[in-house]
Amino acid sequence: MERRFDEMRLARDLPTPSAVGLKILELTARSDYDQDELVSLIGADPALSGRVLRLANNMGRSTEGSVSSVQQAAARLGPDAVRKVALGFSLLETRMPVASRFCVDSFWSQSLACAVSAEMLAKSTGKDPASFFTLGLLSGIGRLALACVHPERYGRICCDPRAADEASMLQLEWRTFEIDHLDVGACLLEDSGLPETFSQAIEQTSPRKAVGGESQGEWALLLIVARLIGRVLSPHASDPLGDRARALTSLPSAVEQMGLSPDSFTGLILEASNRWHEWANFTGIRRMGPDLGDLSLALVEAAKSEPLPETFVGRRQETDRDLFMEDHTVHEEEGSEQPRPTRVLLVDDDPAMLKLLAFNLENEGFEVFMATEGSVALELAMHMQPEVVIIDWFMPLMSGEELLQVLRKSEIGRRVYAIGISADGCDARALEALDCGADDFMSKPINPKLFVARVRVGSRVVAERQAVERSERTNHSRAAEMGLMGRRLRSAALTDALTGLPNRRHGMRLLETEWERSDRVNHPFSVIAIDIDYFKKFNDLAGHDIGDAVLREVSSTLAENCRTGDAVSRMGGEEFLCVVGGARMDVAHIAAERLRHAVDQLPPVQLDKPMEITISLGVAQREPWMRCMDDLLREADKALYVAKAEGRNRVSLAVDPNGGAASA
């Protein structure tokens, strides 16, 4: 079923870790900064990279091709635009809340580890390293988007014990949002104007795509291996040993699927590790998990580890409700947040002055942080996010004017109330400070009572701004809820209530989409008509409750065993339709046999005499002589009738009007 992320516009300003923001501020504080170094910093962060790529692709969408790396985007945008985007970063706990238990630093660390691994693998297989670096970096961006757009609900998923692995996490996301983070990531990459191969690769890494032994594309395979190496280098913060054990035990077979020697995975990890350390030193990243040590010993320990928890698979039934599906109204109203003391950052190279000012402020209930030089103050401002900053105008290394100018370049710096102080308290100095962005100015020696009163004024101004921001966050939450509600309503309108499958309306819409695609690009496709054998007997002998149970069981079996990209719809009663996109008759025949075999393995219904559950299937391929979809459906129905006439529990192929089986 088609999934849309209607909250897309809310996910276009995702938070950037403070380490990147601080590096950008420090770098651009100099007028002669290195543009290549700035581009590298942007390229280390998924949120900033996505922003730059979207801007560059939107700019050249009508006349130029899409760009697939930050370097290409920077060349298209030019240095001034890149600098503005970089300085427009948002930090944690600013405008966009993040789900509790979702560690942004861990997410960033794993994204960068996946990126350098993808880059290294691309080099070893003769592909474009820059494009695969971007793909690896952005491959998990959907998870960050869900954590920011739906922080309360996603926080519950993060701490749910059933979310033990990727497949379980995707199941919980789907049940909660009617979409999962891989679908969201694919939507965001399409929105950024990146090549279609990027979003396809992300979608194909889903555990759902492995049903029936189906193989992924080469981009998806490389991304899967890159993620595994990334988890070895930077395991998840909450479960570093388990995450690393899973990655180590899965790597050899994944590497072999790429056509590389299984013995080469140790060399691949070591090579990626060296590149990873280079990036870590450059960005100041905090690596998650202990050093890897001896790989061979680590692999042995991983093999001896405790069995991993079973994957949670939840079936969507009418009575199947859980804590995620409860309605939650937006309750963030003005004044609902717990009040906390105003944070004040004092910056002065005179320790005695710092202590005096801090003493007066702390006595009035303010939370005070102190720094004796500009670089330390900048780091404190990024991490502690104060509401008021008091800056001595004359300091060695970085002056108060320079510090304020750097602060005002960032979102957090633009929101603080800044007070300049100086022993040179002439009017010219005060005007200079106000022109540079200060909100107030005071002369030394400081009058303690007047000083505290001025800080209170700043605190009130900031409180008013925060009230506006709380209102914006409430609107943000309501918009996110509307997006989720719209997706649920669309899903309900296109879903069969009994089985959870797409209903007839959606099945015909999928068929129409494939038909139009076939007309447009001469794209082959087939359909499979499916019918449960002797279904009336289940209702007559056991009652409609048992009949409904059989329908649900067959439906879930069909959904779990259809090919990637294919969809089974309930057309009515015991009849189903599977649209097999991009497949000729021979491929569709194999897909149909897989469905038939899966249902044939279901346990019989225990009545006076056990009744086996089987299905009959008719396969038809679109042929040049067919004028409309009805012709195709008619041929599939004819083949289905043949299967029933020949004894049921079998697959029959459509016959063309000229005699013989339809072309394969």
Q: Which residues are CB-neighbours of 607 under 8 A, at least 6 positions away?
A: 541, 542
Q: Do the beta carbons of residue 91 and residue 14 sit within 8 Å?
A: no
C-alpha triplet 478, 479, 485: angle, nearest 5°: 85
536-543: which pairs have CB atoms within 8 A and are 24 or more residues apart? 537/611, 538/605, 538/611, 541/607, 541/608, 541/611, 542/605, 542/607
Whether the per-residue pLDDT at 93 is higher than 70: the answer is no
Looking at 122-126, 557-561, 594-598, which range is the least confident one?
122-126
Report the CATH number at residue 460.
Answer: 3.40.50.2300
3-class SS letters over 39-72: HHHHHCCHHHHHHHHHHHHHHHCCCCCCCCCHHH
* Residue 292: band (very low, low, confident or very high) from pLDDT cuts 50, 70, 90: low
194 and 70 assigned to the same domain: yes
pLDDT mean over 432-456: 91
Could you tell me if residue 333 is inside a domain? no
Report the CATH number at residue 604.
Answer: 3.30.70.270
Q: Which residues are CB-neighbours of 177 under 8 A, at least 6 positions away?
A: 146, 150, 153, 484, 487
Could you tell me if residue 480 is inside a domain? no
Helix, coil or strand: residue 572:
strand
> What's this model's pTM, rounded to 2 decimal places?
0.65
Q: What is the pLDDT of residues 239-277, one digit of tens each?
A: 555 666 667 777 777 777 777 776 676 777 778 888 877
Could you tell me if residue 553 is inside a domain? yes
Helix, coil or strand: residue 568:
strand
Report the CATH number at residue 237.
Answer: 1.10.3210.10
Q: Where are the beta strands (DSSP E) in 551-650?
A: 567-572, 575-581, 615-621
Helix, coil or strand: residue 498:
coil
Sheet with 575-581, strands from edge to edge, namely: 567-572, 575-581, 525-532, 615-621, 651-653
453 and 579 assigned to the same domain: no
Closest CA to 492 of 246, 76, 178: 178
* Residue 657: band (very low, low, confident or very high) from pLDDT cuts 50, 70, 90: low
Q: How many domains does the chain have?
A: 3
Would you state the torsion angle of the CA atoms of residues 221, 223, 226, 231, taken in this order, to the nearest 10 degrees? -110
For 183, left (φ over 0), alpha (ψ -120 to 50), or beta? alpha
Beta strand 417-422 with 525-532: parallel, antiparallel or unpaired?
Answer: unpaired
Peptide linkage before 445 cis (omega within 30 of 0): yes
State the chain's mean pLDDT as an integer.
80
162 and 241 assigned to the same domain: yes
